[in-house]
Amino acid sequence: MLFLVISTPRPERPSSMTGSRKKYWRWIDPKLESHQCRWVYARTGRGAVALFDVKSNEELHALLNEWADIIPAHFELYPLIDAAGAQRFLGGGRVKRQSGRKASKS
């Protein structure tokens, strides 16, 4: 399951967060190496954007809690479908909804 995560940290003085920011990069490095996090970019000013590839919502929840323990932030989450998956979905037909009945594939 792919999730795009955009963090917006609490407004703190940047100089007071230097240690936490260094700790964040040490925390994310093994996730990049294992491909649990496919990539991460620092945002201009403050925050980060990361693409996580996880097996469950619970795994993502644990990662976000760990991240927030290092740098308290608001997170925007966007579930994603990779390009191949989106094309498979489009090639498989549409789902028709009928009143009072289960959806059927055409």
Per-residue model confidence (pLDDT) at position 93: 55
Half-sphere exposure (CA, 13 Å, Cβ side) for 104?
5
pLDDT per 10-residue tile (average), the chain, 106 residues: 97 88 97 98 95 98 98 97 89 60 49
Q: What is the DSSP letter of 11?
A: -
Residues in the chain: 106
Q: Options 3.10.580.10, 3.40.605.10, 3.30.70.1060, 3.90.1150.10; which CATH number does 2-85 get? A: 3.30.70.1060
Per-residue model confidence (pLDDT) at position 75: 98
Per-residue model confidence (pLDDT) at position 98: 56
Q: What are residue 104's DSSP bridge partners?
A: 96
CB contact set of 54 (below 8 Å; sequence gap of 6+): 1, 3, 36, 60, 63
